Amino acid sequence: MLGWLAAAAAPLLIHLWNRRRYREMEWAAIEYLLAALRKNARRVQIEQWILLAVRTLVIALVVLALAEPFVERLGLSATGNQRTHKLLVLDASFSMGYKPTDKSRFERAQELAAQIVDEASAGDGFTLVLLANPPRVVVGSPSFEPREFKAEIANQHLLHAGSDLAATLQLVENVLSQTEREHPRLARQEVYFLSDLQRQAWLPAGGAAGQLGQIRQLSKRIADRAALAVIDLGQTDSDNLAVTRFRAAEPLATLDRETTLEAEIHNFGRQPRARQLVELLVGGNRAGETYVDLPAEGSAIVSFPYRFDAGGEHALEILAAGDPLEIDNHRWLALPVKETIRVLCVNGKPAGGSFQQTTDYLTVALAPRSGDAPGGVRPEVITESELAERELAQYDAVFLCNVAQFTGDEARLLEDYLRQGGGLVFFLGDQVQADNYNRQLAGDAGGPRILPARLGERAPQAQYRFDPLEYKHPLVGPFRNQEQAGLLTSLVTDYIRLTPHAGSAQVALAFQNGDPAIVAESLHGGRSLIVATSADTSWTTMPVWPSYVPVVQELLAWCAGARLQERNTLVGQPLAGIATPVGKAAMVRNPRHELLAVEVRDRGALAEWTFAETFTSGVYALEPAGATSPAALYAVNVDTAESDLAPLTAAELRSEVWPGIRFAHQTSWQNLDEHPAAEVTRQNKLHVWLLTAVLGLLFCETFLGWRFGHR
């Protein structure tokens, strides 16, 4: 279209052509007239030049208006009358909830996205992708209805998840490719990123080569297809504090003793915070408060001792309010409180007399205060022949001591128990048939894998001592700096060599010769643990040492803690569990009090349910069909890696994330109210102003022609 600017020379050519049409002839009468005209020649010449300039400008402005020029931040650009595909990438991670004024960053981004749509040309198409973890394609096929598309933008909610930039870029590339195939008339493509450029999201793991390389490759391919623009909504001085951890010091809470609740508060800002209020809420009611001093970029631990007055499901919350990002000031804990902890002990070697049975020392260690406490641990001893008749789901943990062998039905029973979040502890002994264990419980014959290790031969009889492996595993962590408790001085004369399964199996305690003594693993939603020696004094002196009681208590706490762990998870991770067929019609009530269906799969006598829509932090309730049983509570918390609001600068974005990739960068958070669009998007209405100027020049040319001619 700009080539038609040559038409602006038409008035000049017409003028020159008209001058050649006439032949000058001398005429006496005209001499007097020319003498008069010479007096006004300069004025007439100026008037002619003015008319010539006005007529030339009219043509030039008409051509420019038809070319539809637009103004960008970097200056004036022009394109032909092309239809454009505008892909908006809206950052919906929870750091966008930062609210320094009356509006959050996310709300600002929604406003800007709507303005981009308003200022687009007729015929442009729009798509929308959410930057989150996982990312979402909200509008994947170009929408040509601006009003409906803006309504879709307004309907989006801030997610309480983090960001996955690589996965988001992959979705952006897919949408661009699909648009090229299905809408070839959209000749131009533009991608707008509306984000706070949080460093942790845009420069992952301090610039890890693998993920950063993937981001660069995807970005390069996108830049080859589309023009890129980054609208930066972040601020460099954004301080924030967050509740980064909340847990019960004892994973099994009972009515007979106080439960210690611990929370960690982290200050991500550069300024210290004095006397920060931290509150404990139980069931929505304030149950305690304390004040803590937080150093700059430092943490503090707070503890609340609390005694529950009723059993059942409890929702606890830690609140540390007082900054513009409210989402990570809360953290929840779903804690089932039991009147008693039921433990099933399977005795593989019955015998008469006091402390002659394999489980005698074990039951005392499990319930050392059973005589004077109304609650606590309640062990129940059965023989191995009674195992298949028990409903294991009613027990918090099952200890199997020197059981000789297992049938296929018993193996499936134990597997179902693990799937329900149960905990298994295997103590070995002289009755154990290693081949049977490996075949039925270790997956050797294609059956279920229940054991965290395979059993080998029996070690030669000698005196062996324990190696705590630097106390790294939670099972032996409490024994750090407690060398006199007897753990390291206990003697073991016999044990069965164990070979841990590759993967998640961990050696919690070893012998000094390097052989594993305790191997633990999370399996099928529960926890399984095997001890290479016996639970009584036949193979070890440990049961008569003071360390035996805390060791057994730690084994119980770790194994039974699986059910507590499945009740507490992070945003974006699905909730799951096992229920009887009666619970197939169960629903989940989310923190917004919406009642949503769960996905249920049959597994014989059991039903496995999952719920994936955990994009909001808070307490979720699994409500069974009818009102016969109480709801089970689940706590979903944010991943506080997103709580560090340090942004990426434009220079770092150009050099470290997108080197060699051309893009426009604009910060709009400072002057959004004063200059809502001119500095952010193309001004495609410039042609309207040009046509208005043409209309004005036409009136001007008519008036000047009349005035000069009249004179």
pLDDT band of residue 474 (cuts 50, 70, 90) is: confident
For residue 562, give the 3-state DSSP assignment. Answer: helix
Domain 241-333 has CATH 2.60.40.10: yes
CA separation for the pair 699, 695 (Å, rounded): 7
Q: Do domains 82-237+649-683 and 339-565 have the same CATH topology?
A: yes
Residue-level pLDDT at 666: 85
pLDDT digits (tens, 9 = 90+) for 42-65: 777 787 888 888 888 888 888 887
β 618-623/125-131 pair status: unpaired
Q: Which of 284, 283, 276, 323 is nearest to 300 (CA)?
A: 276
Residue-level pLDDT at 675: 38
CA separation for the pair 76, 79 (Å, rounded): 10
Residue 369 has pLDDT above 70, yes or no: no
DSSP one-letter string for 439-473: HHTBSTTSS-B--SEEEEEEPPSS-B-EE-GGG-S
pLDDT digits (tens, 9 = 90+) for 507-532: 999 999 999 999 999 998 899 999 99
Q: Which of 276, 275, 295, 289 is nearest to 318 (CA)?
A: 289
pLDDT digits (tens, 9 = 90+) for 284-333: 999 999 999 999 999 999 999 999 988 889 999 999 988 899 999 999 99
CA separation for the pair 401, 362 (Å, rounded): 9
For the chain, report the end-to-end CA distance as a whole number of angstroms: 39
CB 621 within 8 A of CB 567: no
Average pLDDT over residues 24-53: 74
How many Cα atoms occupy the beta-carbon half-sphere of 148 within 13 Å? 9
pLDDT digits (tens, 9 = 90+) for 197-229: 998 889 876 545 578 889 999 999 999 999 999
CATH level 3 topology of 568-637: Immunoglobulin-like (2.60.40)
Going from N- to C-terminal start, the domains of the chain cover: 2-68+689-710, 82-237+649-683, 241-333, 339-565, 568-637
* Residue-averaged pLDDT of the chain: 85
- Global pTM reads 0.74
CB 432 within 8 A of CB 474: no
Residue 279 has pLDDT above 60, yes or no: yes
Residue 608 β-bridge partners: 578, 601
pLDDT digits (tens, 9 = 90+) for 598-646: 888 776 666 788 899 999 999 999 987 665 667 889 999 999 988 999 8
Residue-level pLDDT at 371: 47
CB 318 within 8 A of CB 246: yes
pLDDT digits (tens, 9 = 90+) for 234-245: 877 788 999 999
Residue-level pLDDT at 39: 66
Residue-level pLDDT at 494: 95
**Helical axes 105-118 vs 146-154, angle rounded to 10°:** 180
Largest CA distance in the chain: 155
Q: Which of 58-67, 159-168, 381-390, 645-654 has the lowest mean pLDDT?
A: 58-67
Domain 339-565 has CATH 1.10.10.10: no
pLDDT band of residue 19 (cuts 50, 70, 90) is: low
What class has domain 82-237+649-683? alpha beta
Residue that the structure tokens 């400008």 belong to = 57
| Alpha-carbon Rg for the chain in angstroms | 38
CB 534 within 8 A of CB 492: no
Between these two residues, 701 and 412, which has the higher pLDDT value?
412
Query: What share of the chain in percent tops pLDDT 70?
Result: 88
> CA 438, 443, 447: angle at the middle one, nearest 5?
115
CB 347 within 8 A of CB 381: yes
